[in-house]
Structure 1
């Protein structure tokens, strides 16, 4: 397997981001959610205009994991007021790390996570945090192995379904 390249996404990458976002979210959650709720979430969260606005936001960062010129995963980070919950302004939120199912277990998520750590260091974040669905055991295990601990819960809306996310954090300083 060739080396995974992590590249910063720009507005020129909006269609690549949309494609990998829709693919990976569907692969991860379609089997355990209704088709109607999945469609609503995918249409709203991965709309071209919404993603373009998010890519333009200076407090959010997107990175693509590329292997042999194919996007196989992505990372979304939020800082300051762009965080999805009111956390410290000097915190870094990992909003999304998603990897195409065929690349699970191939260190793609770990490479994306390393990029998050690098940004946290650059911006001198006091901690990183995230929300992860309580039933996404694979992701919970990944974050636990990387030093995150649960500190709260919050509600995540997937279409019309309210789901519980574990809020996890890793203190850096």
Structure 2
């Protein structure tokens, strides 16, 4: 499940942060596992704690956002990570995770057979407004485009901000699935986008 950490800077923000970005997007390394697990768990809690029982949330975090699990995923060739780092402090500000081999029954044959899942894009809430989520999204698509024919993702049905973002960037809804966390069952919309092989390297 992706979360709503995709924020484009306003024109005023862009004017104050130009001409250079104060962060960099680089491939994730296994040594980033602890920071990714910490950030992922924190952002997931901030985004969804209000929508489920506390016990379900605690169990999910304890079994999903652990250093060992993220480290194992980073060593697994099916997963590709990109991270955003503050250029001054080198602190992790966000990450994107792409995953192959996953699927949903509602996906088109193109996405199911020759696609990749954009599984997560998370950014530190303290760093919102710097365009980090959008930069991670761009880098994820830049990676996926020459290697796959489509990209797909799941987004919470109540996350209208993220839904609008993905729609603007060529995704369309193809179905939904249940996202189960303990006794809590939430609905994710499944979105996909097909790549045109002659489209430019940017969005």
TM-score, normalising length: structure 1: 0.90
Which residue of the partner structure matches residue 118 of structure 1? 142
1:27, 1:100 within 8 Å by CA — same for their partners in 2?
A: no
**132, 143, 155: which one pairs with 1:132?**
155
2:104, 2:112 within 8 Å by CA — same for their partners in 1?
A: no
**37, 60, 65: which one pairs with 1:41?**
60
Classify 1:52/1:85 alpha carbon distance in 2 versus 1 (closer, same or farther; 3 Å).
farther
CA displacement 1:38-86 (0-9 Å, x = unmatched): 111111111222212111111211111112312111101012x2x2536
Classify 1:40/1:19 alpha carbon distance in 2 versus 1 (closer, same or farther; 3 Å).
same
Which residue of the partner structure matches residue 29 of structure 1? 48
* Larger mean Cα displacement after TM superposition, 59-68 or 97-106: 97-106
* Larger mean Cα displacement after TM superposition, 57-66 or 139-148: 139-148
* Secondary structure, aligned partner of 1:88: helix
- The root-mean-square deviation of aligned C-alpha atoms, in Å, is 1.7
Which residue of the partner structure matches residue 73 of structure 2? 54
Aligned: 1:146 with 2:169: yes
1:65, 1:108 within 8 Å by CA — same for their partners in 2?
A: yes
Greater RCO, 1 or 2 (C-alpha within 8 Å, sep 6+): 2
Count of residues in Structure 1 that have an aligned counterpart in Structure 2: 170
Which runs of 5 or more structure 2 residues have no equivalent in the other structure? 1-16, 106-110, 197-203
Task: Name the CA distance, whole Å, in 1 between partners of 2:141 and 2:167.
Answer: 15
* Secondary structure, aligned partner of 1:85: coil
Task: Name the CA distance, whole Å, in 2 between partners of 1:155 and 1:41.
Answer: 15
Task: Name the CA distance, whole Å, in 2 between partners of 1:146 and 1:60.
Answer: 23
Which runs of 5 or more structure 1 residues have no equivalent in the other structure? none
Aligned: 1:106 with 2:125: no
